Structure 1
Amino acid sequence: MSSTYLPPTLGESVHEVFYPDVQTTVNLFAIHLRSVGTDWDYPTHEHPQYELNYVTEGEQRMMVNGTLYIQKAGELLLIPPGSIHSSQSHNGKGFTYFCMHFDIDDQLFLSLLARIKQVRFSADSPVTQQIEPVLRKLMSSADDETANTMVQRMQLQSTVFELFGHLWEAVSQEAAQWFTDGHEKIELAHQIRNRLQGLMSQQFKQGHESNGHYGIDDIAAELGISSSHCNRVFKEVFGQSPRAVLSQLVLHEAKLLLGNPKLSVQNIAVMLGYKDIAHFSRQFKRWSGMSPSRYRQEQPALE
């Protein structure tokens, strides 16, 4: 496990800009582009990942949790994990579709996706319009017979992250319709999210001691809103409180730091803004179920 970035001593930098950390893991399963005949009938099944299904030619009959969707060319299905679904040809004709299953560890992204109850998106919907060019890019990569396996894997990962970026933007636009003040609330929630990550990159990593509010009050003050409004808007959009999300960020950072044997637990506690090692150890155990020292000892077995 690689060590995390260690910033320079305070006062050394003349100018710096922190970009958002990338801490997302994406797992992709059963990506395929398939043409089927008139008698296509895929039996009822379910899986623990999201399924993204896009028809390029013809029409597909897809039953999802008891609801029948006639999916035409250019239309998209976003099937949530655990959904019972099956697929058949429609009107005695074959069709072509692109399908991928994905699992992503970005809890805010998942919470936003989970609140989208719509399964079928028409060809002219904002979600389909936003990601259709990237889907075409993914499909065209399958025709490149000159690329070696490693190049294809890297290109696939790059394109998939591009896809998720567009999907995040499109789903955020859809989510704006849930609220009376629409886009403004979504935008404010995103600003809070960005500042939470900035709090990790700048405040904690620079060795400042964290206060009882984990910096949420400061974020609210910077945005010109009350702490209660900050918490309410963020939870309404993402389904989690800012403090819970910040705790996830701190835990992730702590695990990375514990993977560096050159850093003592005491040093890590200071880097993460804790006043003493006991406070850090209690928090880490509450989050992960084990002490920092035990987590570090068990890493070889976990990897």
Structure 2
Amino acid sequence: MAGEVKYMAKPKPEKETMTYRANDSWNQHLDEMNRRRVFQPLTVELVRIEGHVRTGWKHIEHVHPYWQMEVVEAGGFSLRIERTRLYPKKGDIIFIPPQTTHHFHHPRGKRGWSFKFSVAEMTGRYPAGCMGKNESGEGEGGGGVGRQLHTALLGAAGLWRESADDNVRILIEHLIAAALEMHFGRTFPTGTESDLIRRARRHVEQRMAAGGQVKVGELAAALRCSAPYLNRVFRSSMGLPAKAFIDQYRFETARRLLLETSLNVAEIAGELGFDDAFRFSRFFKRLSGKSPRLYRNRHDVPKPATAQ
């Protein structure tokens, strides 16, 4: 028709395409992974867990051959680690390495949990430490990672109180490994345990497991060295004489039997090589300030699950 205007369809723009080299995205992914902090899971083996104590108590200065981690629910107590005195606050996580002298004073009872464990990759001499609730986090209102970990550990401890089964144990061991990695990172030990100390420890463990006593002279003879030399090595490596180490190991074994078994005091005395329950009670009170029966009654610790 005359005067008809024809409109031509506007050509559609070609679809924009982006081209990548075949390996670009893979290289980008590798770059991101390489920038991350490498995490090698630690091999944590739980020894035991100790919970709330209803009344005030004071522990003597002592050491033990495994790690201890305190998850603090309430302050109001003091902790001395070697020559340093701490006053932990709610939300703190305290790390006490093996062979580190320490003692607690809880004047109004204990509100928190003690996790005792070994770590295959951390057998040297590490420094003690305290991880606050905002460590690696975003400040007081930011819900720091330390705070979330503290909450998770308390929740896992509650599960342990209800049912000390393998699934809960595995969860707790993974949480402990995360706490150690977060706090210590790439910290390296300041020293290593001598072969003589390792052999002495093994001998004491074997003798105790067999229900026998261990005397310093007999231990030195078994290790083919003199008692004075053995004491010098213990003082240099662990900060205490050999007898104090033996007594502490015996005491820790007694504590474990009191808190984790139904053996009575006389039976525990026999297991540890004491002549009678009276001598065992006197030994235990000297190291803890409490009689074995009172110590057992004042510690609110779940008993391990038993097979039906």
Q: TM-score, normalised by structure 1?
A: 0.44
Structure (1 or 2) with the greater strand fraction: 1
Q: TM-score, normalised by structure 2?
A: 0.43
Report which of the two structures shows the higher radius of gyration computed on alpha carbons.
2
Structure (1 or 2) with the greater helix fraction: 1
